[in-house]
Structure 1
């Protein structure tokens, strides 16, 4: 069980850290997607910080601070629930798989982290 938890958590950390870097650097695809869903580019640093904090919290959870990891996973689940809602509101469905993948990874990390302490 620990191996599944570790693998899924490391993948979720990598996904979110990578997207935080893309958001901080204002990558072209990030700016295009933000404009398409009606998100102001001025929000990108905040969103990047939230993703980076989630990744850091998951890392701490992986290293033994289990409740911080669970809190980070909950935060990421909520974050990507919002991202999916924004995509639905804007009716941008062709790339819904991206926030869906991040949401799924966050949910999997949360479930495995909770199962680990049970």
Structure 2
């Protein structure tokens, strides 16, 4: 059963990564989404600039150990994404592009919220 939990954590981790990428755009429709998205964005920045271990990676390793599976020697992104979805040499470029996508979603959210306020006041 621990192996199933380890795989479930992987699915959850990919879901969180998807939300990190798309959550700002979802907030254009559901404004409350911006708050957890901003918190996740802050976590992502923190994990890039400091040697922070994601709790989901800790959980995955816990369940892997329980199941007798090998532990992740690196983080989630290094294990499942870097060098798998794109060459490791492109990591910095990918981070910059994804950061620009998230920043664009936040700018769009702010612009939409500002326009909405103007319409309601004017």
TM-score bracket, shorter-length normalisation? 0.3 to 0.5
Question: Normalising by the residue count of structure 1, what TM-score does the alignment of the two structures yield?
Answer: 0.36
Larger radius of gyration: 2
Question: Normalising by the residue count of structure 2, what TM-score does the alignment of the two structures yield?
Answer: 0.35
